Amino acid sequence: MSNITFTMIKPDAVADGHIGAILGKISEGGFKIKALKLTQLTVADAKKFYEVHAERPFYGELVEFMSSGPIVAAVLEKDNAVEDFRTLIGSTNPAEAAEGTIRKMFARSIGENAVHGSDSDENALIEAQFHFSGREIF
């Protein structure tokens, strides 16, 4: 499954009205949408999703932010999806993100940074299955 990645449009970008523009950038970037929904993480969901960051100083803030409002979850398909999607979204900190990247255009800050992108093929599959049932992935 090296051709899929998982993304979330985070609560900041949903609240700021950027769903349409971000989906447009994703589509223009050559990604095909395999699954898509508007949903909201509970605190427990966010804790579980970001478990790998549990020891990091920003974990509490991250969990609170990610469960603070609706998100858009999606599974995307493209050759080299994980790496190419991380290029399209740009650096974690929007101040360091390249011009034209989704984070440069739409993120508020390093914490409230508009979008998530999986960091490996293995995690893309785990994250897709965390959010979607088999019947929801096309």
Specify binding-site residues for ATP.
10, 58, 86, 92, 103, 113
Distance CA 138, CA 23 (A): 17
Distance CA 131, CA 6 (A): 9
Tell me the window of 34-42, 66-74, 94-102, 119-127 that interacts with Mg ion (CB under 5 A): 119-127
Binding of ligand RTP by 47 (CB under 6 A): no
Distance CA 82, CA 84 (A): 6
| Interaction mask 87-126, ligand RTP, x per CB under 6 A | -----x-----------------xx-x--xx-x-------
User: Least separation, in Å, of the C-beta of 113 and ligand RTP?
Assistant: 5
Sheet (strand 71-77) strand order: 32-39, 71-77, 4-9, 115-117
CA atoms within 13 A on the CB side of 52: 6
1 vs 52, beta carbon nearer ligand RTP: 52
Residue 117 touches which of ligand RTP, Mg ion, none (Cβ within 5-8 Å per kind):
ligand RTP
Does the annotation count 116 as an active-site position?
A: yes
Q: Is-contact 114 10, C-beta < 8 A? A: yes
Q: For residue 54, what are its two tokens?
A: 């549990």
**Residues contributing to the site for ligand RTP (CB under 6 A):** 53, 58, 62, 92, 110-111, 113, 116-117, 119
The site for Mg ion (CB under 5 A) is made up of: 119
